[in-house]
């Protein structure tokens, strides 16, 4: 006789146990430590912190380990933890001009105050697999130049000196701090919350959109005005004390794209800005974010709206990979009740179609279609 | 805040922090006061994926108390994997009593079905909603659909349904069939089969809808008029399977088609597992069981 | 006022007391005119009532500006209590208020002076909490609409001036409008904006 499928609970438990086993892998191989992940897979941890919106290398490393290296799963783990944390207040804006830069380059100027600092970059490496890395062959100590701890001026300030670039776009004081994790999003968005959404957005999605602008879908004539990576101080105002207290330093990557702009009815010819700021070292994401930010400013600057990257509701509604992965993957949940309804409908429509065919009316119907 | 005795120490009762619960509770009250209107809320990341019931879970977590008895169903069944997973989540974080009996539950969280057993006054039915906007597939932009709701401009929806009729001779929407609530808002009933739509009308229970990814909560108070959209010459009808449940013999219930073998053998059984079990316990038998008893 | 006065009198168990109070309000909102006890109550300084204060700590926080009627606004003990237990900013502008608390319904401003929401966002309106003496001593009100199978009659008092006229105007504004939460001595009832008043049969 037919027995309905039962025992889902045991099945779930066993599946999770198997998952645990596969995560650990061969027991004769030492388990990864969080230090190893945070230290040696640092860019994976950086991405998880950036898109998980939580700056904590240890938790980022734990998430990467628990997710078996699936970064979107790790981002999800971190987000679900973050959302339970109490909110004590908002920090002051970080001052990236005061950043202690480890990397700082500009594509606009050959040389500039503070110099071009390559830092720890994959650029100019030849992408040849290095067999020596298969073993722990030992690594040379890096060389450091003098004076690396001095703040360096931003490229945008050089252009601003000539009045050729738009201002930073100050936010009205009374507006308060926008936060898409606390207030439901509403379109059209303000640029601050839009930037927050982009900063949490999926690197791959933003990369593809940024790329599309370069290929002519809302071309924005970008120059990498400046990319800088380094540590900035985070401080928070304590009302009881009446002054700001430093909470520590975080590493961020900032990209300021400088975009040529011929002018429109709304703004004169000048250079305009696209902005990217991401936790950790994530140059690709910061650059893509800056391109997309600029594209999304089309209506503000009076440009023609022609491409997906300019469509705020489209871009922001689909940039969050935790939302996207959940909804795409929910298709594997049972849908048999709805499928039954569709099955019934298709059977009925098919029967009607076949019946019509027999009577000859089908030919007319097809011709009409 | 304090975690309750018996629940895990690191998270609050029912997982959500109190500030989040207050925000969701305010949205629920607004939803009840404006039946069928989708209230935006600052949906949180939950420890299960978006699309897997995060909206329903947030609503349930915000209303649930120690005196409640919770039932969770998916596709009408208590024992589908996601229903089990959500039920376990609340057992673990809220230590709440659970049941599979529709009549014993004070709060029922559901995905894709409304129980066959009529709901009672005082019960709360919480729906998991993937796409709360009934106009979304006609107009993808939130900015536009919001205006359409504001102006009560639902012509597009009628045009779509009428195109179905022109093309197929009948409306080709079988689930997530749009309804009008108390003569004002057009509402998505979540992807329940249209078979369940009439159960929403004048139900004595409170119906709450949570869409986590889309960040919307809406509600139907008890005894509210909920009318499926239709036309005078093409009135709304529900599916009729033309046969009773093979296990319990129930008629006019929603059935699942179960494939029995690779030779095309199949049978139809209740999608509502609790309803089916209760009937069998009461001595009802469908052809499958009656046949066995005879042997 | 002593320090202790505003520190005391919060919900004894903020998680469970708030949950049970919310369920009372939710049930009252879902079935207009029915009366529900919120469970264990807060102990605020007068003239804020225990039930109104319980609703306040259950639903209000730093994200919800509240408007206080003159009697409440004049009480330093009340404003300090609200600041400590809910952290809600007090606004002098009723249109901005997410919640309004009224001790003297007869003297309150007209409903249309509060936030009514917009056609796009009718939820952005003020929920008005009225402290009432009871639900059966006033002018009988017969209610109809969602949440009510046929009609339901109750008689809260005191109610705002010209209540039936004001409420008809509020109801006609649907989906915009204010919602009322009536805080009695030990229970709550609600009048959501959709509820219609029908002539009471004698």
pLDDT at B5 over 50: no
Cβ of C23 within 8 Å of Cβ of B63? The answer is yes
Note whether residue C198 is domain-resident: no
Q: Which residues pair with A229 in a beta bridge?
A: A103, A253
Asked if the Cβ–Cβ distance from A76 to B191 is below 8 Å, we say: no
Nearest chain B alpha carbon to C30 = B221
Q: Which phi-psi region, left, alpha or beta, contains residue B158 (left: φ > 0; alpha: ψ -120 to 50)?
A: alpha
What does the pLDDT average to over B266-271? 92
CATH code of the domain covering residue C74: 3.40.50.11310
Model confidence at A363: pLDDT above 70: no
- Residue A49: the pLDDT is 98
Q: Which residues of B touch A86 (CB under 8 A)?
A: 17, 19
Angle between helix axes A71-82 and A42-52 (nearest 10 degrees) is: 50
d(CA A1, CA A13) in angstroms, rounded, equals 27
Give the pLDDT band of residue C201 (cuts 50, 70, 90): low
| pLDDT tens-digit series, residues A186-204 | 999 999 999 999 999 999 9
On the question of pLDDT at C167 being above 90, the answer is yes
Helix B54-63, helix B81-94: angle, nearest 10? 30
Catalytic residue chosen out of the listed positions B56, B245, B249, B286 = B245
Closest residue to C192, CB basis, from B19, B23, B32: B32
∠A199-A204-A210 over CA atoms, to 5°? Answer: 75
Q: Which secondary structure element, helix H or strand E, spans residue B259, and what is its range?
A: strand B255-259
pLDDT band at A369 (very low <50, low <70, confident <90, very high): very low
Query: For A16-20, A75-79, B12-16, which range has the lowest pLDDT when averaged over its residues?
Result: B12-16
Euclidean distance between CA atoms B59 and B25, whole angstroms: 8
A149 band by pLDDT with thresholds 50, 70 and 90: low
Residue with token string 């690594």: A139
**How many Cα atoms sit within 13 Å of B237 on the Cβ side?**
11
- How many Cα atoms are found within 13 Å in the side-chain-facing hemisphere of C130? 28
**Tokens 């009135």 sit at which residue?**
B235
In chain B, what residues touch C147 (CB-CB under 8 Å)? 221-224
CA distance C189 to chain B (A): 13
From the list B36, B56, B249, B286, the catalytic residue is: B36
Q: Which residues of B touch A349 (CB under 8 A)?
A: 168, 172
**CATH number given to B18-228:** 3.40.50.11310
- pLDDT, tens digit (0-9, with 9 covering 90-100), for B222-257: 999 999 999 988 899 998 888 999 999 999 999 999
In this predicted model, what pLDDT tens digit does every residue of A132-144 receive, in sequence order?
899 887 889 988 7
CB B63 within 8 A of CB B124: yes
Residues 173-232 of chain B whose Cβ lies under 8 A from any Cβ of chain A: 174-176, 191-195, 213, 215
Mutation test of the interface with chain A: which of B8, B17, B50, B92, choosing the one with the most A Cβ atoms within 10 A? B50
Residues of C within 8 A of B12 (CB-CB) are: 15
For B43-64, the pLDDT digits (tens) are: 999 999 998 999 999 999 999 9
Confidence (pLDDT) at B263: 85
State mean pLDDT over B263-279: 92
pLDDT at C94 over 90: yes
SS3 sequence of chain C: CCHHHHHCCCCCCHHHHHHHHHHHHHHHHHCCCCCECCCCCCCCCCCCCHHHHHHHHHHCCCCCCEEECHHHHCCHHHHHHHHHHCCCCECCCHHHCCEEEECCHHHCCCHHHCCECCCCCCCCECEEEEECCECCCCCCEEEECCCCCCCEEECCECCCCCHHHHHHHHHHCCCCCCEEEEECCCCEEEECCCCEEECCCC
CB B47 within 8 A of CB B89: yes
A-facing residues of B in 57-76 (CB < 8 A) are 74-76
- Helix H or strand E encompassing B210: strand B206-211
Angle at Cα A170 formed by Cα C65 and Cα B141, nearest 5°?
A: 70
The C-alpha of B222 sits at a distance from chain C's nearest C-alpha, in angstroms, of 5
Q: Which residues of B touch A346 (CB under 8 A)?
A: none
List residues of C whose CB lies inside 8 A of any B CB.
13-16, 18-20, 22-23, 25-27, 29-31, 58-61, 63-64, 98, 118-123, 125, 127, 145-149, 174-175, 179, 192-194
Residue B177: is its pLDDT beyond 90?
yes
> Is B206 in Cβ contact with C26 (below 8 Å)?
yes
- What percent of chain C has a predicted confidence (pLDDT) above 90? 93
- Band (pLDDT 50/70/90 cuts) for residue C3 is low
Domain with C150 in it: 3-193
Return the partners of chain A (3 or more C-beta pairs < 8 Å): B
**Count of the separate structural domains present in chain C:** 1
In this complex, is the C-beta atom of B191 within 8 Å of any C-beta atom belonging to chain C?
no
Annotated catalytic residue within B53, B55, B56, B248: B248
The string of pLDDT tens digits covering residues B114-140 is 999 999 999 999 999 999 999 998 999
**Confidence (pLDDT) at B123:** 98
Strand duo C196-198 + C141-144: pairing? antiparallel
| The two structure tokens encoding residue B131 | 């796409």
Chain B residues whose CB is inside 8 A of the A342 CB are 174-175
Q: Which of A2, A184, A345 sits opposite B174 (nearest CB)?
A: A345
Query: How sure is the predictor about A168, in pLDDT bands with cuts at 50, 70 and 90?
Result: confident
Lowest mean pLDDT among A167-176, A264-273, B38-47, B177-186: A167-176
Residue B76 is among the residues annotated as catalytic for this protein? no
What is the pTM for the complete model shown?
A: 0.90
Query: Each residue of A116-127: pLDDT tens digit?
Result: 989 999 998 889
Q: Which residue has the higher pLDDT, A7 or C24?
A: C24
CB contact under 8 A, C175 and B40: no
Contact status of B12 with chain A (Cβ, < 8 Å)? yes
Catalytic residue status for B245: yes
Domain ranges across chain B: 18-228, 255-294
Task: Please tell me which of A63-72, A160-169, A293-302, B152-161 the model is most confident about, judged by mean pLDDT.
Answer: A63-72
B&C contacts, CB < 8 Å? 115
Q: Give percent of chain B above pLDDT 70.
A: 95
**In this predicted structure, what is the pLDDT of residue A148?**
60
% residues pLDDT > 70 (chain A): 93
Residue C49 included in any domain? yes
**What radius of gyration do chain C's Cα atoms show?**
16
Asked if B248 is an active-site residue, the reply is yes
B291 part of the active site: no
**Is residue B30 within 8 angstroms of chain C, CB to CB?**
yes
**Domain positions in chain A:** 12-82, 96-121+148-168+178-321
Q: What is d(CA C4, CA B169) in angstroms, rounded to the nearest whole number?
A: 74
Contact predicate C96/B63, CB 8 Å:
no
Top-confidence residue, A339 or A177:
A339
* Best residue of C20, C99, C146 to probe chain B, by most B CBs closer than 10 Å: C146
In this prediction, residue C27 carries a pLDDT of 98
- What pLDDT shows up at residue B163? 87
């Amino acid at each position: 006789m037919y027995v309905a499928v039962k025992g889902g609970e045991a099945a779930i438990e066993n599946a999770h146990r198997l998952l645990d086993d596969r995560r650990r892998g061969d027991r004769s191989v030492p388990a990864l430590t969080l230090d190893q992940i945070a230290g040696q897979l640092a860019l994976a941890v950086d991405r998880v912190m950036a898109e998980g919106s939580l700056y904590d290398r240890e938790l980022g490393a734990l998430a990467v380990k628990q997710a078996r290296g699936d970064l979107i799963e790790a981002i999800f783990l971190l987000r679900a933890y973050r959302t339970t944390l109490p909110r004590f207040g908002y920090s002051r804006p970080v001052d990236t001009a005061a950043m202690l830069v480890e990397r700082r380059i500009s594509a606009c100027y050959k040389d500039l105050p503070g110099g071009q600092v390559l830092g720890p970059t994959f650029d100019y490496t030849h992408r040849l697999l290095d067999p020596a890395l298969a073993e722990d062959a030992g690594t040379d100590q890096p060389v450091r130049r003098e004076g690396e701890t001095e703040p360096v001026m931003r490229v945008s300030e050089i252009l601003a000196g000539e009045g050729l670039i738009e201002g930073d776009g100050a936010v009205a004081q009374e507006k308060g701090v926008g936060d898409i994790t606390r207030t439901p999003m509403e379109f059209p968005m303000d640029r601050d919350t839009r930037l927050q959404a982009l900063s949490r957005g999926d690197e791959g999605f933003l990369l593809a959109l940024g790329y599309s602008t370069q290929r002519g879908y809302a071309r924005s004539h970008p120059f990498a005005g400046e990319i800088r990576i380094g540590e900035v101080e985070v401080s928070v105002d304590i009302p009881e004390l009446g002054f700001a207290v430093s909470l520590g330093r975080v590493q961020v990557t900032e990209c300021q794209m400088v975009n040529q702009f011929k002018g429109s009815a709304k703004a004169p010819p000048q250079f305009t800005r696209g902005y990217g700021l991401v936790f950790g070292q994530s140059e690709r994401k910061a650059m893509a974010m800056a391109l997309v930010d600029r594209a999304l400013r089309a209506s503000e600057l009076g440009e023609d709206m022609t491409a997906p990257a300019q469509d705020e509701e489209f871009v922001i509604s689909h940039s969050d990979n935790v939302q996207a992965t959940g909804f795409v993957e929910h298709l594997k949940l049972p849908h048999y009740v709805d499928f039954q309804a569709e099955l019934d409908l298709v059977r009925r429509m098919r029967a009607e179609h076949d019946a019509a065919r027999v009577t000859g009316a089908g030919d007319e119907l097809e011709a009409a279609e | 805040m304090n975690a309750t005795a018996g629940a895990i120490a690191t998270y609050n009762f029912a997982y959500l922090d109190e500030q989040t619960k207050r925000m969701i509770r305010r949205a629920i009250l607004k939803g009840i006061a404006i039946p069928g209107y989708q209230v935006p809320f600052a949906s949180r990341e939950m420890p299960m994926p978006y699309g897997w019931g995060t909206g329903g879970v947030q609503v349930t977590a915000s209303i649930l108390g120690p005196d409640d008895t919770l039932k969770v169903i998916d596709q009408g069944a208590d024992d589908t994997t996601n229903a089990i997973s959500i039920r376990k989540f609340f057992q673990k974080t809220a230590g709440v009593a659970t049941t599979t009996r529709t009549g014993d539950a004070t709060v029922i969280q559901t995905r894709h079905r409304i129980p066959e057993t009529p709901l009672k006054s005082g019960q709360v039915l919480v729906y998991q909603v993937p796409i709360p906007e009934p106009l979304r597939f006609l107009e993808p932009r939130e900015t536009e659909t919001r205006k359409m709701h504001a102006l009560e401009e639902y012509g597009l929806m009628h045009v779509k349904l009428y195109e179905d009729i022109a093309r197929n001779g009948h409306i080709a929407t079988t689930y997530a069939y749009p309804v009008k609530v108390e003569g004002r808002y057009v509402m998505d009933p979540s992807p329940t089969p249209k078979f369940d739509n009439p159960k929403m009308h004048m139900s004595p229970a409170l119906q709450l809808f949570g869409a986590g990814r889309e960040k919307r909560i809406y509600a139907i108070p008890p005894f509210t008029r909920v009318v499926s959209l239709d036309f005078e010459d093409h009135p709304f009808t529900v599916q009729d399977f033309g046969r009773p449940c093979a296990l319990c013999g129930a008629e006019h219930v929603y059935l699942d088609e179960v494939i029995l073998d690779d030779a095309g053998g199949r049978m139809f059984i209740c999608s509502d597992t609790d309803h089916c079990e209760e009937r069998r316990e009461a001595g009802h038998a469908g052809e499958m069981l009656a046949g066995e008893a005879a042997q | 006022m002593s320090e202790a006065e505003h520190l005391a009198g919060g919900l004894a168990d903020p998680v469970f007391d708030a949950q049970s109070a919310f369920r009372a309000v939710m049930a009252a909102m879902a079935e207009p005119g029915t009366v529900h006890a919120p469970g264990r109550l807060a102990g605020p300084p007068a003239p804020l009532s225990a039930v109104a204060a319980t609703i306040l700590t259950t639903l209000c926080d730093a994200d919800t500006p509240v408007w206080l009627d003159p009697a409440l606004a004049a009480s330093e003990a009340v404003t300090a209590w609200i600041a400590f237990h809910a952290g809600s900013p007090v606004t002098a502008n009723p249109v901005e208020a997410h919640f309004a608390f009224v001790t003297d319904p007869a003297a309150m401003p007209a409903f249309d002076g509060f936030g009514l929401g917009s056609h796009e966002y009718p939820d952005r309106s003020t929920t008005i909490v009225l402290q009432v003496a009871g639900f059966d001593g006033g002018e009988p009100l017969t209610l109809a609409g969602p949440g009510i199978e046929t009609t339901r009659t109750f008689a809260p008092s005191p109610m705002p001036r010209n209540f039936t006229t004001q409420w008809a105007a509020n109801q006609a504004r649907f989906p915009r409008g204010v919602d009322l939460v009536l805080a009695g001595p030990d229970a709550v009832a609600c009048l959501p904006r959709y509820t219609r008043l029908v002539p009471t049969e004698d």
